[in-house]
Amino acid sequence: MLMMASSAAGKKLPLFMVGKSKKPECFHLCGDTPPMAYLHQANAWFDRDVTLHWNNAVLWPWHLEHHGNVTCLLLLDNCPAHANLDKNKLLSKLVILFFPTNCTSFLQPADMVMIACLKVGYKANMLRRLLAICDDDSLYQEALEAGQRARRGCRGLDYCGKVHLLDAMEICLAIWNKDDTYAMEDSIRRCWRKAGLLSITEEADLENDIGRASVRQKDKVISHADCMELCNLFTQLQCKVNNFDMLPPALEDCYLSEQQCTNYEFMKIITNWVDIEDDIHVVEDDVLKAIVDLEQEYTTTTPLLPSFDDFAATMYVDEEPQSLPNVSWMECIAACDTIKQFLSGKNMEKELIQFETFQHKIRVKRIDAATSQLSIKSFFQPKMT
């Protein structure tokens, strides 16, 4: 998970990454000193401890360097990792304010364009690095041979392998540390203006500096120009890889499909690929796996809650059952949210974890697992043996 933040003046804070491994193998390639701040957590999630670490080890040092020992105002959304932080571990000159509930998507500057631009830049740079190797036959063969000799966990993009943490860090830093297409300071300032978080004086100063042009409201979909850039890069890679006798390890057990598709379908595939991490089914799978891991950590001999799979309506019905009113899915989920708020407010973390598992299974029952959306998998098909 990647943490990005910026100031209203368009200045970018150092990136911060959370991973599962305490010491990933790929870090040996950089002398065990990763190029950006890194912290490991069992499920690569942001929790309260991670948030406190970011506040004290990333945000405050940057603030001291750029603004001195003065009060810092931090705006955060209402996710559980940001709530109920230990005030004894927070700096006295750090003031935290939260966005109103259910308003993050149109009040948070990062949601205006910054996240979308970083995603596009990441995908584009990844394809460029892979294409740069595949475009030269001798370089491609050298990369494959070197990859076979490299230690496990270090066979990344330089060997036409799958992206590892160090690759991801380097790509993100190459984008974030430049005042360029995907992370321009002027664009960041426009995002703050679009979110309506600037005072009248600040908006006037911004207009004098960079004009009135602004970003589109809630622009989370990549632009036509960005989409065409990714399409062109992917087409070049597709044409090159189809001529290889041996596929790059990054594409092992599959081949680039030779089937034809319309330009609209191609652009739809690329758009979905950029935002694949936000796909509801991907999110549900990741959340379920993380919750299961957490639940196993706190497993007791006597479960605090009954298993949803074993639940039967007759378990809690008296001999003369009374008719109950019909409850909609939305009412059920809203009731679950209320219970979660209660458990969180009482600091009942173990009970909250098990109840989240229960609630997630309710959501899974509601969501249709089938999806007809095009995805990047349309380009990758299993090999026929």
246 and 337 share one domain: no
Q: How far is CA 380 from CA 134, 180, 332, in A?
A: 17, 32, 39
Residues 304, 269 share a domain: no
CB 45 within 8 A of CB 80: no
Residue 211, domain member (yes or no) = no
- Give mean pLDDT, residues 251-266: 55
Residues 240 and 383 in one domain: no
Q: Which of 28-37, 289-298, 319-328 has the lowest mean pLDDT?
A: 289-298
**157 and 225 co-located in one domain:** yes
C-alpha torsion sign, points 156, 161, 165, 168: positive
Within-domain flag for 287: yes
Whole-number pLDDT of residue 379:
42
pLDDT of residue 343: 85
Whether 52 is in a domain gets the answer no
Is pLDDT above 60 for 320? no
Same domain, 233 and 292: no
Q: How many domains does the chain have?
A: 2
Nearest C-alpha neighbor of 191 from the set 96, 105, 125: 105
- Region 294-309: mean pLDDT is 49
pLDDT reported for residue 265:
64
Residues 229, 132 share a domain: yes
Q: 319-346 burial, b if ≥16 CB within 10 A, otherwise e?
A: eeeeeeeeeeeeeeeeebeeebeebeee
Q: Which of 136, 109, 237, 129 is nearest to 175 (CA)?
A: 129
Tell me if 92 is assigned to some domain.
Answer: no
> Per-residue confidence at 256, pLDDT binned at 50, 70, 90?
very low
Range of 273's domain?
A: 113-183+221-277
**Average pLDDT of the residues of the chain:** 75
* Residue listed under structure tokens 């804070």: 13
Pairing of strands 37-40, 16-19: parallel
Give, in order, the Cα–Cα distances in Å from 271 to each of 48, 370, 381: 33, 19, 19
Contact 17, 37 (CB under 8 A): yes
Are 230 and 378 in the same domain? no
42 domain-assigned? no
Per-residue pLDDT of 109-146, as tens digits, reads 888 778 888 888 888 888 888 888 888 888 888 888 88
- The reply to whether 253 and 377 lie within a common domain is no
Domain-located, residue 56: no
Residues 380 and 342 in one domain: yes
Same domain, 239 and 330: no
Whether 147 is covered by a domain: the verdict is yes
Q: What value does the mean pLDDT take over residues 276-285? A: 51
Same domain, 131 and 178: yes
Asked whether residue 170 is domain-assigned, the answer is yes
Do 251 and 306 share a structural domain?
no
